[in-house]
Amino acid sequence: MSTRPTTDKVKEAIFNMIGPYFTEGIGLDLFAGSGGLGIEALSRGLERVIFVDHDAKAVQTVRKNVAACGLEKRAEIYRNDAERALKAVAKRGLRFSVIFLDPPYKEKKWPALLSLIAGHDLLEASGVVVAEHPVGAELPEEAGNLKQWKRETYGITGVTMYRRTDEQKGDESDGEHCRLPREL
């Protein structure tokens, strides 16, 4: 009961925007809750997803859902807070094709987490950060090398997506090494 699973309508819209399919890559599902977004990404072709949630019951739920889908070998599941998890994956030298960012709405952590993601250079050149939030939430236009790419509304839920900018040229990455479809 402490998780807020992404509705099917919002999940479908997210994957229609960023996919619908991946050819490879790694995903990070912060505030994983039930694990629905990360599991969906695995089912659509990501090689591996790292699931993180601070709540022990949520982590148990993710483990059960991953097992029910037979995806244990392609998932890493951790109980940790988001900030520490971001620092830990940075130490491992990981970069992600997609990062799902869905913190509890009342905590308003989006700006700080986006800054950490950018500061640790955790997003591949062609990757995307998907931030789920309540409609009306103030998310930054830019955070480090991340820039808002799309913003959509689905009832009371907002989805804002960020892409890396090419700091050398000052414009968005051209997606040359894109593992996601080029229409991004």
Q: What is the pLDDT of residues 27-62, one digit of tens each?
A: 999 999 999 999 999 999 999 999 999 999 999 999
Q: CA 110, 180, 147 angle in degrees (round to 5)?
A: 35
Domain that holds residue 19: 10-164
Q: For residue 173, is it within any domain?
A: no
Predicted pLDDT at 20: 77
Predicted pLDDT at 167: 52
Q: For residue 26, is it within any domain?
A: yes
Predicted pLDDT at 171: 40
Q: Name residues of the chain where pLDDT drops below 70.
A: 1-4, 166-184
CATH label of the domain that carries residue 31: 3.40.50.150
Structure-token match 């659509």, residue found: 44
- For residues 35-74, b (16+ Cβ closer than 10 Å) or e, as one string? bbbbbbbbeebbebbbbbbbbeebbebbeebbeeeebeeb
Q: For residue 170, is it within any domain?
A: no
Give bridge partners of residue 123 from the DSSP assignment: 96
Predicted pLDDT at 3: 56
Predicted pLDDT at 180: 40
Question: Average pLDDT over the chain, rounded to whole?
Answer: 87
Predicted pLDDT at 4: 61
How many independent structural domains does the chain possess?
1
Q: For residue 184, is it within any domain?
A: no
Angle between helices 82-91 and 110-119 (to 10 degrees): 10
3-state secondary structure of 14: helix
DSSP state of 6: P
DSSP state of 73: G
Q: For residue 169, is it within any domain?
A: no
Contacts of 93 (CB under 8 A, 6+ apart): none
Contacts of 106 (CB under 8 A, 6+ apart): none
Provide the 10 A C-beta neighbour count for residue 174.
12
Give bridge partners of residue 154 from the DSSP assignment: 157
Predicted pLDDT at 19: 77
